Copies of this chain bind each other. A is one copy, B any other.
Amino acid sequence: MSEVRVNDLSVRIGGQAGDGSLTTGDLLAKALKRMGLWVIALKDFPSRIRGGHTNYTIRAKDAPIWGPGNALDFLLAFDMESVEIHSGEIQPGGVVIYDNSRGEQVPDSLHAKGVHYLGVPLSNIARSELGLELMKNTVALGVLAELLSLDDTIFHDILASTYGRKGPTVVEKNKRAFDLGRRQAAQAPKPPYRITGNGENPKRLLITGDEAIGYGALAAGCRFLAAYPITPATDILEWMAKYLPKYNGVVIQAEDELAAINMAIGAAHAGARAMTSTSGPGFSLMTEAMALAGMVEVPVVIVDCQRPGPSTGLPTKTEQGDLNHAIFGAHGDFPRIVLSPANAEEAFYLIAEAFNLAERFQCPVIFLTEQLVAMSKQTIPPLDLSRITIDRGKLVREPVQNNEEWPFRRFAITEEGISPRPIPSVPGGMFIAKGSEHLESGAYSESPKNRTLMTLKRMRKLERAKEAVPPPVLTGDPTARVGIIGFGGTYGPILEAMEMLAKEGITTKYLRLRTLWPFPAEEIRRFVQESEIVFVVEQNATGQLRGLVERCVGPQEKVESLLKFDGQPFKPLEIATRIDALLVGPERVPARANRARR
């Protein structure tokens, strides 16, 4: 592997939490993005403040990417622990830059084949030349830029805009730090990389899923967010706290998640578009009220940014283990819709659609995403607000004519199951929003007949919703024998794995579910039927999505689980290898006979 690698670069910055590697990483990510590359910046930080190892991986490519690469090219290590942990992931030709201010040396045992080790006294330079140890970050950036022969201008610009508000001295100091770094690395051999970008810089964004969700919700008219801080959902709360009030909206940091969801329900009942955002533990706490929303038919959007569970689990890592709960959690039967975006771009548009679906079907919509998507900064094309539409369904804002009757028949049993929804202050529309079983008026009723009809009415909405929700997306060669099913943030890794497999002559197809409930049973059935082997790729331990697939097709030998539940996102290679391993012969066909029956 000594050929020059072009425009696919993974740089990891490792150190202790609080070391400042996040800032360095952000600067680098921005610079690469401005060069016209697609960038993703993945945080892998400990769930504590100080004294824990943290790292930040920046990956840049000349095509869209949504997850980590297969290996690292550069490691910027602020301490030896980082070298120890990550050295094994560097691929031949790559470079480890480490701080040797205190004479540190990389022990031979860690030396990986073909990797170049470059000690730079980063802290020393920062301290002695710039008087501030934290500047080692910018020095390191200079080292990197030099090794990759990157242009100064973009970096200087970014340093200026990042530190501008701290005054010109700080900017100048940082530029000097950068230049010092460059100079330090001037003598080192250049590694085999070429980073050019395509020159274009079409105003792409560098945005996290959380930010995109907040932004998309605001654009869709959300005026209320109640949430309780929790990683990896906190950034939604924080982004909206900044922007929603400017548009006469309200953000409340609730006392807990029980309050948060009940507030969102209240706001929606009042007539505003309302949302709550949380992660696993908080999502579990919202269970009772989710059922309330189902019963009183209140359109509320619940964002769950998944992290590994159960319980507190791994708060800062990624997983897709709340799928079952999103679909089956809570007592009793009621309609709900579950959506999941592939990345930040889709999150923006899909959250807007979540509000439409919630109001059209008057039920809770659960927006299921995960730490990888929620917290990674992703490069996406500029967002097009004109793609967002607003459909408020059967909302009634005008006085109800000829209606002196009370209560208004808010829960009228209609053919499609959807009933008119007046909001408080609408004349003639007064009704009882009741969480117990009720008549069309909302009045309590224990009549067995009414109970049956009302339940059917509510569930009918889901039948209708089937036609309205975003259908699965089919990618790849529709005639391929090998199929892949997945949802959410496995998108990026799966696409790249498909490319890798294609290079080995294995064509695949991929059905990505954007709607998890109502479950696209027909599409799944067809897809499985038309494949010789199907891999259900998901990030949890029990194959929750696979369980749903089996409801549609039964347990089948040709359906394979491809699971990962260690808190880390899939690497493309992991998927490709595991698929490859089950194909045999020159034709690469499913090795049915070799596989043991589950």
Contact = CB atoms under 8 A, between A and B. Distances in A.
Contact of A555 (B283, B315, B552): B552
Contacts of A314: 436-437, 446, 451
Interface residues of A, number: 71
A7 interface: no
Nearest to A53: B446
Contact of A459 (B285, B309, B330, B541): B541
A410 to B, nearest CB: 15
A553 interface: yes
Interface string A60-85: 00000000000000000000000000
A311 B333 contact: no
Contacts of A547: 551
A566 interface: yes
A503 interface: no
A107 interface: no
A327 interface: yes
A315 B554 CA distance: 36
A324 B304 CA distance: 19
A333 B556 CA distance: 23
Contacts of A280: 291, 331-332
Contacts of A552: 554-555
Interface string A558-570: 0000000111100
A321 interface: yes
Nearest to A459: B541
Given A284-B287, A329-B329, A449-B566, A294 B308 contact: no
Nearest to A547: B551
A544 B456 CA distance: 15
A276 interface: no
This chain's copy number in the assembly: 2
A452 interface: yes
A287 to B, nearest CB: 4
A478 interface: no
Interface string A529-559: 0000000000011101001001111111000
Nearest to A566: B448
Contacts of A258: 285
Contacts of A319: 332
B555 A551 contact: yes
A313 interface: yes
A331 B309 contact: yes
Interface string A279-323: 111011101101110111000000010101111111111010110
Nearest to A447: B566
25 contacts: A47-B436, A285-B288, A287-B325, A291-B309, A292-B311, A294-B311, A295-B309, A295-B313, A296-B311, A308-B437, A310-B330, A310-B331, A311-B435, A311-B436, A314-B451, A317-B451, A325-B328, A325-B329, A325-B331, A333-B540, A437-B567, A459-B541, A550-B550, A552-B555, A554-B554
Given A333-B541, A456-B541, 9 more contacts: A281-B288, A281-B331, A309-B334, A311-B332, A317-B446, A317-B451, A552-B554, A554-B555, A554-B556
